[in-house]
């Protein structure tokens, strides 16, 4: 079993990580970034923002972003968010996957730091929706992440007064980190990863990024390869820790009945013997190959059902049309009657946050974003239900996890649409292999729990907790 599956924490060298800021700058003088580099970054950011604003605005509106999100991205948070200017912890989780992965961490931070308010920001509309649905018991407020412009960042820091900033996965924002360092705010990258696709771009900007990374107090990386990459970008090795992926803890600890999360299954009352193919988080360019692969499955198993979950809400209508054009009787999940078996060939999951529970219905699960070059999606959600998993060749966003699954014979990787057809059909027809793959996938999830505890250890080292009985109500920012 590889290092990821062993689930062990590994410091990249023995140098103490508790040195104060001045000691850090003495040992790493590059941590004081040249003003000219930040000026160049600001100008480039401004150019991209101005030229790209029509597209970004169109995309945001198309995905249902409220008008208030624009104000929040400009740093104009409501006064009610932190009316008494109390100190806080700020977690930034870009989208749905990141939000779900940090839910156990948010709950643990609430217990460990009861005297600090707890906030979560997201970048995407769907991430915002899921954060509001799933984090009400853990956090004091949810808002949209601000633009990385100095005066905007300062507004948000003034409003939140954070003691600790946690950036999830690969969120590296130079001005935000620099301002946190100036104010004495501790900053951590948690569940960190540097993908194979993004690494060359970071390497090109190494003279700048090594200065930016000097403002991060600890890097909690998902695996050895990501740890090596962040060091190659210029991170202080003594601050890099391999903690494993929080996603293992998030899915392993998920309660399907919590706040009605299992309710979706009442709309999908499938018989145990019915073949169900679940295609999760599909991206543009994948739905037709999935539908055509399902056609072959249905030829062998006439009662088979396909549940397809597009990654983005704006594609729901498109996928419905594609399925109908392919000759399948198609229905949306929101059109299904409760406590009845779907009579259609294809169900389009036109909801947010239900896919993780729907996976437990799968005879075979295909994880999308992997047939096209978008980097793949979370294979752990079907794995926790011991479902056999198929994914395509493009898994750069989950490279270490995907490699662990392949090394442990816990998934099937296909190289093309044609192989997807063959792979789905073979698995549906082979219950013994399905059971073997599912059991190996579930065992891998169970074996790799522990990233939460290791991440908390890193947090406590940079910000020792002070006990208090203060409890704050949840506040959603509109």
| Residues classed as catalytic | 98
Residues near 324 by beta carbon (within 8 Å), at least 6 away in sequence: 330
Tokens of 195: 């993908």
CA 411 – CA 434 distance, rounded (Å): 10
Tokens of 21: 């800021």
- Using the Cα atoms of residue 435, residue 417, residue 377 and residue 95 in order, give the sign of their dihedral: negative
Tokens of 263: 């309710």
Instruction: Label the pairing between strands 88-92 and 117-122.
Output: parallel
The helix/strand/coil state of 338 is coil
The helix/strand/coil state of 329 is coil
Instruction: Give how far Cα 235 sits from Cα of 17, 24, 54, 172, Å.
Output: 12, 12, 35, 12
Question: Closest Cα partner for 144 from 170, 114, 116, 119?
Answer: 119
CA 247 – CA 131 distance, rounded (Å): 16
CA 276 – CA 34 distance, rounded (Å): 57
Question: Closest Cα partner for 396 from 414, 374, 415, 378?
Answer: 374
Which residues of 218-352 form beta strands (DSSP E)?
218-221, 240-242, 276-282, 305-310, 330-332, 346-348
Q: What angle do CA 35, 40, 44 make, to 5 degrees?
A: 150
Residues constituting the chain: 478
Strand order in the sheet with 364-367: 330-332, 346-348, 305-310, 276-282, 364-367, 389-391, 412-413
Beta-bridge mates of residue 364: 277
Instruction: Label the pairing between strands 276-282 and 364-367.
Output: parallel
Tokens of 248: 């293992």
Q: What does 165-232 look like in DSSP terms, one character per residue? A: EEEESS---HHHHHHHHHHT-EEEEEEE---TTTHHHHHHTHHHHHHHHTT-SEEEESSHHHHHHHHH
Question: Closest Cα partner for 346 from 357, 360, 338, 336?
Answer: 336
């Amino acid at each position: 079993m590889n290092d990821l599956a062993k689930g062990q924490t590994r410091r990249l060298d023995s140098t103490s990580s508790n040195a104060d800021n001045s000691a850090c700058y003495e040992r790493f003088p590059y941590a004081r970034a040249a003003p000219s580099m930040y000026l160049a970054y600001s100008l480039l950011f401004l150019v991209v923002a101005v030229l790209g604003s029509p597209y970004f605005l169109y995309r945001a509106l198309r995905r249902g972003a409220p008008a208030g999100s624009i104000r929040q991205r400009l740093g104009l948070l409501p006064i009610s968010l932190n009316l008494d200017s109390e100190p806080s912890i700020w977690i930034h989780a870009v989208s749905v996957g990141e939000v779900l992965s940090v839910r156990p961490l948010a709950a643990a931070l609430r217990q460990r730091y009861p005297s600090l308010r707890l906030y979560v920001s997201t970048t995407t509309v769907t991430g915002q929706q899921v954060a509001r649905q799933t984090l009400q018991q853990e956090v004091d407020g949810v808002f949209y992440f601000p633009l990385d412009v100095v005066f905007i960042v300062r507004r948000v820091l003034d409003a939140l007064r954070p003691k600790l900033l946690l950036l999830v996965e690969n969120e590296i924002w130079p001005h935000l980190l620099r301002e946190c360092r100036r104010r004495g705010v501790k900053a951590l990258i948690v569940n960190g990863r540097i993908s194979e696709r993004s690494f060359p771009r970071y390497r090109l900007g190494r003279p700048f990024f090594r200065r930016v990374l000097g403002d991060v107090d600890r890097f909690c990386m998902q695996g050895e390869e990501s740890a090596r990459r962040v060091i190659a970008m210029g991170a202080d090795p003594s601050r890099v820790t391999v903690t494993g992926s929080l996603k293992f803890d998030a899915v392993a600890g998920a309660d399907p009945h919590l706040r009605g999360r299992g309710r979706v299954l009442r709309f999908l009352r499938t018989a145990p013997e019915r073949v169900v193919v679940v295609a999760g988080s599909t991206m543009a360019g994948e739905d037709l190959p999935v539908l055509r692969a399902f056609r072959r499955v249905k030829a062998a198993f006439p009662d088979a059902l396909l549940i397809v979950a597009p990654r983005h809400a704006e594609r729901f209508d498109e996928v419905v049309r594609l399925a109908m054009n392919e000759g399948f009787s198609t229905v949306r999940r929101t059109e299904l009657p409760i406590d009845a078996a779907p009579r259609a060939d294809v169900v389009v999951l036109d909801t947010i946050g239900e896919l993780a529970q729907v996976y437990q219905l799968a005879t075979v699960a295909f994880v999308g974003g992997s047939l096209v070059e978008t980097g793949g999606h979370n294979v752990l959600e079907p794995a926790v239900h011991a479902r056999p998993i198929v994914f395509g060749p493009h898994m750069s966003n989950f490279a270490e996890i995907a490699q662990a699954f392949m090394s442990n014979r816990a998934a099937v990787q296909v190289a093309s649409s044609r192989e997807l057809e063959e792979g789905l059909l073979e698995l549906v027809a082979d219950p013994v292999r399905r059971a073997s793959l599912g059991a190996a996938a579930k065992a891998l999830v169970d074996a790799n729990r522990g990233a939460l505890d290791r991440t908390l250890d890193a947090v406590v080292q940079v910000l020792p907790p002070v006990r208090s009985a203060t409890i704050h109500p949840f506040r959603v920012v509109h």
